[in-house]
Amino acid sequence: MKLVRWGSQGNEKPGVIDHAGRIRDLSGALPDVAGNGLATANLRRLAALDLDALPLVPTDVRLGPCVGQVGKIVCVGLNYSDHAAESNMPVPTEPVLFFKATSAICGPHDDVLIPPGAQKVDWEVELGVVIGEEARNVSRERALDYVAGYCVVNDVSERAWQIERGGQWDKGKSYDTFAPLGPWLVTRDEIADPQALDMWLEVDGKRYQNGNTRTMIFDVATVVSYISQFMSLQPGDVISTGTPPGVGMGQKPAPVYLHAGQTMRLSVSGLGEQRQRTVAAPANA
């Protein structure tokens, strides 16, 4: 299944993509694409529904973030060796973990804000892993059993805030709109191998990132198992698993960063496409 959340910001309703690519309203069967609604038993129940019997949603509706009520976003840094190289950082021997504030979450096609004073706003296409069952100290062999599905994440980052301002990376990762999720949450039964997914990102029609999840240093199962050693993963939590090379910070002969008035497009195979405009955030926001 391809699950979505549709409607105005803060008032999203659950939906599902039917066999013709249309959005059907799931409100009568599911309170939200969130929390315990993502448990395996609930997803099986939804999969048995007659989608043609569900109400159609208008075609011009806004898509919200594909997961609601996210408890935490756990990110994996430097999870592609060639991205580590372009960042002038050593290849990690264990997954590098950091958090992204949930207040950064926005819809897949919402505008991305360029913060006042920001000079180094960057892009990162990533595979998002959405947790469906509580995971605590799970083995790598069973880790994918705890996954509800997958989505596209744009891990937007302000590099000066991330690297040059001291402390943790979180401050460069968490500005409002720095975590577009979606368009869909694709249930894990539709993704035969999360380590065989092409991914790309363009800015103003120029392709900067081309990669594949097979080149991850730590694969999805390893990441889920590893994180669960240090914290419980709850239904609806999102793991952003790292980005392939081609980020703005790594461009040669000089870095390239985002500014207001640009358009990003990005996709992970089978998970849909995001499209965002960059706009200047109000100084008093």
DSSP state of 56: B
Give the model's pLDDT for residue 93.
93
Q: How many CB atoms are located within 10 Å of the residue 283 CB?
A: 8
Its domain, for residue 250, covers 67-280
- Residue 239 has a pLDDT of 98
Question: How far, CA to CA in Å, does 56 sit from each of 15, 20, 52, 169, 257?
Answer: 9, 11, 9, 42, 40
**Residue 83: inside a domain, yes or no?**
yes
At 87-145, the pLDDT tens digits run 777 888 999 999 999 999 999 999 999 999 999 999 999 999 999 999 999 999 999 99
Q: Which two tokens stand for residue 260?
A: 């207001």
Average pLDDT of span 202-220:
97
Q: What is the mean pLDDT of residues 66-92?
A: 89
> 36 in a domain, yes or no?
no
Give domain status of residue 230, yes or no. yes
Quote the pLDDT of residue 284. Answer: 75
The arithmetic mean of pLDDT across residues 236-257, rounded, is 96
pLDDT at 266 over 80: yes
Domain for residue 16, yes or no?
no
Domain membership of residue 30 (yes or no) is: no
Contacts of 161 (CB under 8 A, 6+ apart): 118, 120, 171, 172
The CATH number assigned to the domain holding 89 equals 3.90.850.10
The pLDDT, as a whole number, for residue 221 is 98
CB of 149 within 8 A of CB of 191?
Answer: yes
pLDDT score recorded for residue 81: 82
Assess if residue 5 is contained within a domain: no
In a domain, 112, yes or no: yes
Please report the pLDDT score of residue 86 as a whole number.
Answer: 80
In a domain, 92, yes or no: yes
Q: What is the pLDDT of residue 283?
A: 84
**Residues ≥6 apart with Cβ < 8 Å to 24:** 15, 16, 17, 18, 51, 54, 55, 56, 57
Question: Per mean pLDDT, which range of 64-73, 160-169, 172-181, 218-227 is the poorest?
Answer: 160-169
- DSSP state at residue 260: T
In total, the chain counts a number of residues equal to: 285
pLDDT bracket for residue 85 (50, 70, 90): confident
Closest C-alpha among 137, 246, 148, 233 to residue 194:
148
pLDDT score recorded for residue 7: 98
What does the pLDDT read at residue 185? 98
- For residue 222, the 8-state DSSP code is H
What total number of domains does the chain contain? 1
pLDDT at residue 89, as a whole number: 75
Question: pLDDT of 177-198, one tens digit each?
Answer: 999 999 999 999 999 999 999 9
Q: How confident is the model at residue 265 (pLDDT cuts 50, 70, 90)?
A: very high
